A and B are shown apart, each in its own frame.
Chain A
């Protein structure tokens, strides 16, 4: 969300209308998704309505026949509606702007692997404790194995802790790079960009009911009044 806000801010600075800029500048799919969830009408609504309509017509046209025929006809048409949706789902991404597979680069497998390995080691310790309690292991074996596992778990936790700061730095770098991309040449001439928190911390407040709204809101979510501020 914060990245969307940032882009909007950049757009406002460049003097372009907010919504359009957002669609141009952000990863297309995320934007589409946000827009779709805000809208009342989703693409799948269209296909469901279409199938229902088509099924009704088919049943009317079929005339007097067996119920299973009608049910199956409707199923065929329903499946066709599904196919329509599949077709839409295939073509829609092609029509939108491309985005590199950035998120994958941002979440390096290494960290996740460390987390997983830690969980695995913890589970193994638990398992070992249980086996010890069940009397399957001698105290000596248990101490040796659990000691080894605990040492491994500690090492992993340490690695994770050390990695956290490096990870944050990586996010910041990626973010900066994206902001640079979105703002274009303006970013080069404006090095003193406001930090993420500063932008996010200034939500527009409704003049009539004093409700604080989302940064990109045009109307108040409480009373519906048009909001003052950068939005037209």
Chain B
């Protein structure tokens, strides 16, 4: 066997080699005075270091150490709520993504409409608007709160809607869909965050503190 490299020799000294390699190195070192000398030099370093190991007498006794520590332990441990550290970047990322999506959709609506690659969605909405505002619950609400009939609302809305040119109608539709999705996403994220902070495994220490305290004290 050729001479083991310095790292291999140190691994041998630290007992970090696999059995066959350790045996090979051992046999080599026994027969190779230079390697034996290197190994002895490493052992001397190790022994010298062990001489600097601290003794118990250099420190406070176990009891004194604990007394000192117990005095300094904070009475109310800061509670760590899972997800809280991640919420600001998460919300920022969500808001950023939403703004980007709105800008892109607006540009896309204009561009595709200008190129004639997208049909106008306005007439479809106009035809559905009458049936939408004639929904019974909405009719009753409009009448009760504003004193308007659904026909008036439908006429006025369709009037404003038709005044928009059709690329703008497309943009309004896209942005409305996006905002609806964003609201939906926010509801999901809110529920998830609430679950993570209150019911997940990570939140258990905060949730069951008293129960666990009692349980452990009883077995001690």
Instruction: State whether these chains interact.
Output: no
| A binding-site residues for B, Cβ under 8 Å | none
